[in-house]
Structure 1
């Protein structure tokens, strides 16, 4: 099994290109199931989750073609992927694949809308909480679907005339449920209104792609989305938006080492809440439309952070800000409101010398003068990269194990960091 070795103490300086967003690419790929014509996506990141989803789509009958980078593009430019689901030959998404990645459960929406039936395994993915799918199923039921749970599979059937538009009010914000409902509603009869919808940029990106495919959608990016169903969608070309989580992660990596660098091919306007926290921490950040310049001012100040749905501080940056605050001058308070089990990185950061105490959904991080390298283990995707951030500043060598978590969401991380001065390498196992 691979591991990553980080010899800390190097100051990061230079440019880091940002990849396409995993959290946008996955629902966009799934949306290809809604049409018999090809959907071509550019700026697709090279990630384990993307490769796994291609396997799942092929299992359902779609043809996926990897067209690679365009001539002359950066080595870190995303791939072009064409997905052609001319005929759905299988309505079952099997346990052995869906159990490895939660987002693959989202195929239930397009399968039900286009084929009238779906059999999808209950999902897996990172062990960061229960994350039940009840909101997804209640939304589909409101649109007329009959749903049963049989031996670990959700078996769903649409009425004879197909799904019917409905008014759906989510009791809490759910990105996945918004994705699934929006895709199913695109082919439903009549109007669907989603209230308390997720406002994340990735949700709006999916809506833009669906509209390019012929869907009638209004209100994406707000808490109320209107979808007027159409009888069929067509193919389209769509570019995946930049990864705001990767952007925030590398900004914190630069700040952790006392460095200075520029993140390119990004969208800083997606990160307002994060930028406010970084300014509070004493990090200077300057922006333009597609670039973010990060400069350390020699010391970190403690912050108070509470994760919230967009446009609040992202839960996917919580582990990283905790790593950054392990060396701040004072006590930081970090509250996790989205997932009930997303503090598994705490015990691993403690192995490096971090001083962190937990009380329910809140962590107190007392800054220390020094972290010391040690063997650590990734427990989920974002936890793994928090250990990288800590290891960059630790004295000695940090050995990160279970890096397959890292490969699910960060493209060529060790290469990008090495290019700006990190002493980091992957050891093949």
Structure 2
């Protein structure tokens, strides 16, 4: 099994190109199920999760063609052969449940296995089920599969979400495009990935208003057509690489970066003593002082601080001046990286959903183990600031969300390599 070896102590300088958003692409790809005509996605990320979604769609009979080294994906569902999403594929990735809404909308039936993914909390499917039932679907759980049917098609409805779930918002948004009548999603998620999906669906011919707010209105249409759509910049990859020079020193420009994607994150960086400036091509980041300052962080739904940047932020605060408190309010079990950071010399106490981090002068390299996608990259970042060598094992999580991370970090001066067992 591969591992990542990081040798700390080298300042970083240069440019890092930020990829298209994984979480956006994983919703955009199932949108192809809504039309017989092709959907072309540009700026697509090249990740194992994208390969998993490709395998799932192909198992349904969707033609998926990759071009330009995977950065362009052409999807066509004109000759589908199945409406069953099998456990053997779905178990690998949570986002597989996003085929449920489109299949119900266009084919009026679906059998979808309960999904898998990182072990960072329950992330229940009941929000999705309740929302689609409000639109006339009949859904039954049998033997680990959701058996769904919409006799005569889905119908527009008022759909209040008890939690502003990104996945549920995406499922309902796609389903509503072909439903009869008007659907209003209340307490909708506001993430940039939702806005990106709505823009893509609109290019396909959907009638949508209100994306980016907590109320989205969709007027159903009879059919959707072909479209070409660029995947939005990955704000989590962006935030991750913005932190790299905060750990290691130096100055890095993140190409494709946009302030509107990481507003709350940048606010915390400013308090921590980090300068972020806009450039013609992205965002440039550097520390104002030799050592970052402590800052308190509470994860929230967008536009609040993203849970997917919490692990990276905790790692940065391990060597900050002062004491920081991080509260995780989105997922339970998302402080599993804390014991690994402690192995590197960090001073962290975890009580339930709250972690207290007391900054130390320096971390020390150590063998550590990744527990989930974002935890894995937080340990790599910590290694950039650590004294000596850090070996991060179980990095199969990493390839789900970061493409060519060693090459990108080496390109700005990091001493990092992938080691095969």
Under a length normalisation based on structure 2, what TM-score does the superposition of the two structures give?
Answer: 0.98
Partner residue of 1:380?
A: 372
CA offsets, 1:340-371, max 9 Å, x none?
11111111111111110011211000001111
User: Residues 56-205 of structure 1 correspond to what in structure 2 (within 5 A)?
Assistant: 56-69=56-69, 79-159=71-151, 161-205=152-196
**Residues 289 and 187 of structure 1, relative CA distance in 2, 3 Å threshold:** farther
Partner residue of 2:7?
A: 7
CA offsets, 1:168-208, max 9 Å, x none?
11111100000000000011000000010000000000000
- How far apart are the structure 2 equivalents of 1:37 and 1:155? 26
CA offsets, 1:123-145, max 9 Å, x none?
10000000001000001100010
- How far apart are the structure 1 equivalents of 2:240 and 2:231? 19
Aligned partner of 2:229 among 225, 228, 238 = 238
How far residue 88 of structure 1 moved from its aligned partner, in angstroms, is 2.1
Query: Does structure 2 retain, via aligned residues, the 8 Å contact 1:266–1:290?
Result: yes
Give the unaligned 5+ runs of structure 1.
70-77
- How far apart are the structure 1 equivalents of 2:26 and 2:253? 27
SS at match of 1:356: strand
- How far apart are the structure 1 equivalents of 2:383 and 2:301? 29
SS at match of 1:168: strand
Query: Does structure 2 retain, via aligned residues, the 8 Å contact 1:267–1:289?
Result: no
- How far apart are the structure 1 equivalents of 2:348 and 2:73? 43
How far residue 288 of structure 1 moved from its aligned partner, in angstroms, is 3.9
Partner residue of 1:225?
A: 216
User: Residues 245-324 of structure 1 correspond to what in structure 2 (within 5 A)?
Assistant: 245-288=236-279, 290-297=281-288, 298-324=290-316
Under a length normalisation based on structure 1, what TM-score does the superposition of the two structures give?
Answer: 0.97
- How far apart are the structure 1 equivalents of 2:308 and 2:250? 23
SS at match of 2:29: helix
How far residue 289 of structure 1 moved from its aligned partner, in angstroms, is 6.2
Moved over 3 A (4+): none
- How far apart are the structure 2 equivalents of 1:60 and 1:120? 11
**Residues 310 and 347 of structure 1, relative CA distance in 2, 3 Å threshold:** same
**Residues 230 and 289 of structure 1, relative CA distance in 2, 3 Å threshold:** farther
- Confirm or deny that 1:402 pairs with 2:398: no
- How far apart are the structure 1 equivalents of 2:281 and 2:331? 30
SS at match of 1:373: coil
How far residue 428 of structure 1 moved from its aligned partner, in angstroms, is 2.2
How far residue 290 of structure 1 moved from its aligned partner, in angstroms, is 4.3
CA offsets, 1:5-28, max 9 Å, x none?
001111111111101100111100
SS at match of 2:225: coil
Query: Does structure 2 retain, via aligned residues, the 8 Å contact 1:135–1:177?
Result: yes
- How far apart are the structure 2 equivalents of 1:68 and 1:365? 44
- How far apart are the structure 1 equivalents of 2:280 and 2:137? 43
SS at match of 2:43: strand
Query: Does structure 2 retain, via aligned residues, the 8 Å contact 1:185–1:228?
Result: yes
SS at match of 1:44: coil
Over aligned residues, Cα RMSD in angstroms? Answer: 0.9
- How far apart are the structure 2 equivalents of 1:38 and 1:290? 31
Query: Does structure 2 retain, via aligned residues, the 8 Å contact 1:66–1:79?
Result: yes
CA offsets, 1:306-355, max 9 Å, x none?
00100000000000000000000110010000001111111111111111
Give the unaligned 5+ runs of structure 2.
none
- How far apart are the structure 1 equivalents of 2:281 and 2:329? 30
- How far apart are the structure 2 equivalents of 1:301 and 1:318? 16
